[in-house]
Amino acid sequence: MLNVNELEVKPGDPVLPAWKRLLSWIRRAKVITGPGIRLSFTPQGVVATVNREETPWRHPWRVSVGTHAIVSPGTVEGIQAYMRDDITKKMLRLDERDEDGELTGDGPPKLKIDFKKHDDEGKFWIWLNADIDEDLKIDAANPEAVTVTQERRERTFGQPLALVYLDESRTSVINTFQISHHNYKLIIQEQETGLPRRLFIPE
Question: Contact residues for another protein (CB under 8 A)?
Answer: 2, 4, 7-15, 18-19, 22, 31, 45-54, 56-57, 125, 154, 159-160, 163, 165, 175, 177, 179-182, 184, 191-194, 197, 199-202
CB of 155 to another protein, least distance (A): 8
**Residue nearer to another protein on the CB measure, 57 or 102:** 57
CB of 119 to another protein, least distance (A): 11
**Residue nearer to another protein on the CB measure, 26 or 87:** 26
Between strands 123-130 and 184-189, the pairing is unpaired
CB of 141 to another protein, least distance (A): 27
Q: What is the DSSP string of 138-152?
A: --TT-TTSEEEEEES
CB of 177 to another protein, least distance (A): 5
CB 74 within 8 A of CB 81: yes
| Region for residue 131 given its phi and psi (left: phi exceeds 0; alpha: psi -120 to 50; beta: otherwise) | beta
Helix boundaries (H) for the chain: 16-28
